[in-house]
Amino acid sequence: MTGQARLAQVARHMGTKTPSATAAVAKPPTFRDRSNYKYFLPIQSRWSDNDNYGHINNSIYYFYIDTVVNEYLIRNCGLDPNDTTKTRPIGLVIASSANFYAPASYPNLLHAGLSITKIGRSSVTYRVGIFEGDKQEASMVGGFTHVFVDPIHRRPVSALPESMKSGMLTLLVEQAADDEGKKAKQ
């Protein structure tokens, strides 16, 4: 059975029309361009970041994501990881992802671009692009979602503190467009 025949069979099952072989398929955005990010942090790659194949190991990119997000939160949103009063919320990662497009390697200086794509009642979703040197396209695009919780009971906060939220709003890039789309569907 050809690919087109399988698509037709699935479409019949789902009650939808089959896309033609020549129909243009919209590719999802990759957010690889530097212009997709509002904040940048230089990160020096290390010898130990490289793997046996001569490029930065995939798992290391998660350290870079964590570094740029938390550095921004500490400097601009009042996050205090050493808060002994246990009165400020802490962020717990509930989801993460990474897509790899081009290898990066030691000893290059990397730039971690950061934007926020969604701010909820107690959650925030970050998008991070890792750029090698002055390249315009990211080698990797990923991110994660934090849920901010009470540091003692580990339950989501009822609302993000205003001081934290105001720092986050400067990086917000897509929520307005998403909200418009939701309104149009209603």
> Helices 162-169 and 58-76 meet at what angle, rounded to 10?
120
pLDDT of residue 181: 47
What confidence tens digit (pLDDT) does each residue in 8-36 have?
A: 665 666 665 555 555 566 777 889 999 99
What confidence tens digit (pLDDT) does each residue in 119-137 have?
A: 999 999 999 999 999 999 9
26 within some domain: no
52 within some domain: yes
3 within some domain: no
Q: How far apart are CA 179 and CA 120, in angstroms?
A: 12
Amino acid in the structure at residue 84: T
53 φ, ψ (degrees, to nearest 5): -90, 0
5 within some domain: no
166 within some domain: yes
Is residue 91 scored above 70 in pLDDT? yes
> Domain containing 102: what range?
31-185
pLDDT of residue 45: 97
- The CATH number of the domain holding residue 131 is 3.10.129.10
Is residue 170 scored above 50 in pLDDT? yes
pLDDT of residue 6: 60
Comparison of pLDDT for 47 and 177, the residue scoring more:
47
Averaged pLDDT for residues 51-60: 95
Is residue 4 scored above 80 in pLDDT? no
Comparison of pLDDT for 26 and 99, the residue scoring more:
99
Is residue 63 scored above 60 in pLDDT? yes
The mean of the pLDDT values for the chain is 88
Least Cα distance to 118 among 186, 32, 181 occurs for: 181
Q: What is the pTM of this model?
A: 0.80
14 within some domain: no
Contact assessment for residue 139 and residue 100, using Cβ atoms and an 8 Å cutoff:
yes
Q: How many domains does the chain have?
A: 1
